[in-house]
Amino acid sequence: MKHTILSGSSRKSSTSLQVSRAIERVLSELGEDNVEVVDFEDYDIPFFNEELDANNLSAFQTRLANAMRTADSIIFITPEYNWFPSAEVIHLVHRMAGPAYKDLWDNKVFSFVGVSTGRGGRMPTVQLGYVVDKIINVFNFDSVTNPKGFEVQFAGQVLDQDGNSMGSPEFDKGLSAFTEYHIRLSKRWVAGHKT
C-alpha cells in the first residue's frame, strides 16, 4: 500500500514539512515503508487566468499528480492561516479536482492534518474534509475521508526540523493514534476494493 503525504506549505523548511516527516517516520515505524512526501516548496500551480494543461505539466505538477495518482491513501498536511487551509492546498483543489484529474481522487483514503505554531489546526482539517467529501460526491468516486483529523498545536515545540519528537508525551500519543487509525482505515478500504 502506498501513502502520499502532501506538505501544503511553500515555505522553505516549513512546520508542515516537519509534521510530514514525523508522520512519514511513524508510518515507517509501523511497517509502512511505501511513503512519498511531496514538499510544496516548488509549488507552481497557476491561477485561473493562466493555462493548466494536463498533458504539459511542470516538474512539480507532474510529481504531485503522479504521487496522488499512484497512492492508496493521501494525507493532506496544511498550516492554518486565519482559520483556513493554506492557499496552496485550496488552489490545488480549485485547479486539479476536475475531469482531467479524476484519477488523483478516485479509489483513495484521504486524511487531514492541520498545523499551527500556537493553538489551532482544527478548522483546516474540517474544511478540507468537507471539500474532499464534495469532490467524492460530485464525481461519484469510490473514495473515503478519514473522520479522525489531527491538530498539531505548538508545532515548533514538539518536533525538530527533521520531524523527530522533542519528547511531548501528549503530542506523541496523538500522532501515534492518528497514524495508526489512518493505516487501519486505509488497509480496510484497500482490501475491500481488491476483493
**Model confidence at 184: pLDDT above 90:** yes
Task: Map out the domains of the chain as residue ranges.
Answer: 3-193
**How many Cβ atoms from other residues are within 10 Å of residue 149's Cβ?**
19
Element (H, E) at 5: strand 3-7
Contact 185, 146 (CB under 8 A): yes
Across the strands, what pairs with 165? Answer: 159
In the block, cell 516537519 appears at 18
**Model confidence at 10: pLDDT above 70:** yes
Span 3-193: which CATH code?
3.40.50.360
Q: Alpha carbon of 49 to those of 21, 45, 58, 132: distances in Å?
A: 34, 11, 17, 24
**Quick one: 80 exposed, middle or buried, by C-beta within 10 A (0-12, 13-18, 19+)?**
buried
Residues in the chain: 195
- pLDDT tens by residue, 134-183: 999 999 999 999 999 999 888 888 899 899 999 889 999 999 999 999 99
- The CA-to-CA distance between both ends of the chain, in Å, stands at 15
Across the strands, what pairs with 76? Answer: 6, 112
